[in-house]
Amino acid sequence: MKKLQNLPLYGVVFAILFFLVFPIIVVVIMSFSDSRFLTFPPKVFSLRWYESYFLDPAWMRATRNSFVLAILTTILVVPVGTAAAYGAHMCKMAIMRHMQLLLLSPVIVPVIIIAAGLYMVYAQVGLLATKLGLVLAFATMNLPYVFISVLAGLRSYDMAQEDVARSLGVSRLAAFMKVTLPQIRPSVMTGALFAFIGALDETVISIFIAGGENQTLPSRMFMSLNDEIDPTIASISTVLISVSFALVILMSLRSPKKANG
């Protein structure tokens, strides 16, 4: 009886879930199709769109750039974000809430506004289309995610352990590195994952400040999508989907408790 009452609900839910995954399935199938236009199901399967991605030097350079930038961003933002989260957790001063809100400003301010302002500032100081400029921007944009993730880890961690280590004569830094950090590592890793995927995917900022030698993958994809619908995008998308999923699954396997991030 109860099951039957719920049937319409589950029908609606199934339809909505289908709506959510449909475009992704379409992109993956499209990437293996032989034609410029998607016929469903595709008549001939082929890898031609993967060839036109992997054999194109410009696409390859953009891909390499994006991965290098994402790695550099993660290396910069994880220590900075972790230090800030530790400071926020330990500091009892009233000013802290305002400081935290400042740190969250990259998610509060719409990205188009940051991109526009950054374009003007970078043009003035000569940071447009430079690796340094891009890494600084990507790191700041993803700082809140590292901060929030590490702070959540610290809140569920018993600080008394660090105090014990310190009472035994270990310095605060050493106590943090040897006692606290190993135990909050899953949250630090989650933060790092957010930062890496976020930097790989940073599109609007890229559109404004990347270019030339330092073109990024998302900004090249955007330009290509604005021109014409090139199915090479489908193969690139499928590669990107695979990468972010491999990372997310790897992460949830390592820390079963925090599967939802």
Partner 1 sequence: MTDMPKLSAIERTEQRSFLLLFLPALILVALIIFAPLGKLVVQSFQDEGAFSLVHYKRIVTERIYWSIFVDTLEVSLAVTALSALLGYPVAYAAARASRLWTGLILAMVMLPFWTSVLVRTYGWLVILQRRGIVNTTLMDLGIISKPLELSHNYTAVLIGMVHVMVPFIVFPLYAALSKIPPELAQAGNSLGGTRSYVFRRVILPLSAPGLLAGAVLVFVLSLGFYLTPELLGGGKTIMVSSLVERNIEQYSRFGAASSVALSLLVIVLAIFWVVDRVLPVEKIIGVK
Per CB under 8 A, which of residues 131..190 are in contact with partner 1? Answer: 136-137, 139-141, 143-145, 147-148
Smallest gap, in angstroms, from Cβ of residue 184 to partner 1? 15
Residue of the chain from 19, 126, 160, 253 that contacts partner 1 (CB under 8 A): 19
Using CB under 8 A as the binding rule, whether residue 244 contacts partner 1 is answered as yes
Helices (H), ranges, the chain: 2-31, 48-54, 57-90, 96-108, 111-125, 131-155, 160-167, 172-175, 181-200, 204-209, 217-227, 232-254
Smallest gap, in angstroms, from Cβ of residue 47 to partner 1? 18
Query: Which lies closer to partner 1 via its Cβ, residue 68 or residue 248?
Result: 248
Binding string to partner 1 for residues 100 to 119, with x set by CB under 8 A, is what?
A: xxxxxxxxxxxxxxx-xxxx
Q: C-alpha distances in angstroms, 145 versus 49, 67, 70, 193? A: 34, 19, 14, 9
Q: Name the residue among 138, 141, 150 with its Cα closest to residue 87.
A: 150
Residue of the chain from 132, 159, 177, 225 that contacts partner 1 (CB under 8 A): 225
Tokens at 100, concatenated: 């935290």
Smallest gap, in angstroms, from Cβ of residue 48 to partner 1? 16
Number of other residues whose CB lies within 10 A of the CB of residue 14: 10
Smallest gap, in angstroms, from Cβ of residue 238 to partner 1? 9
Tokens at 35, concatenated: 């034609």
Smallest gap, in angstroms, from Cβ of residue 57 to partner 1? 21
Using CB under 8 A as the binding rule, whether residue 246 contacts partner 1 is answered as no
Using CB under 8 A as the binding rule, whether residue 69 contacts partner 1 is answered as no
Residue of the chain from 71, 75, 99, 181 that contacts partner 1 (CB under 8 A): 99
Smallest gap, in angstroms, from Cβ of residue 139 to partner 1? 6
User: Dihedral, CA atoms, 64, 65, 67, 70, nearest 10 degrees?
Assistant: 170
Residues between 30 and 59 with contacts to partner 1, criterion CB under 8 A:
30, 37-40
Phi-psi region of 171 (alpha: psi -120 to 50; beta: other; left: phi over 0): beta
Tokens at 37, concatenated: 């236009």
Q: Could you tell me which residues are beta bridge partners of residue 214?
A: 211
Using CB under 8 A as the binding rule, whether residue 194 contacts partner 1 is answered as yes
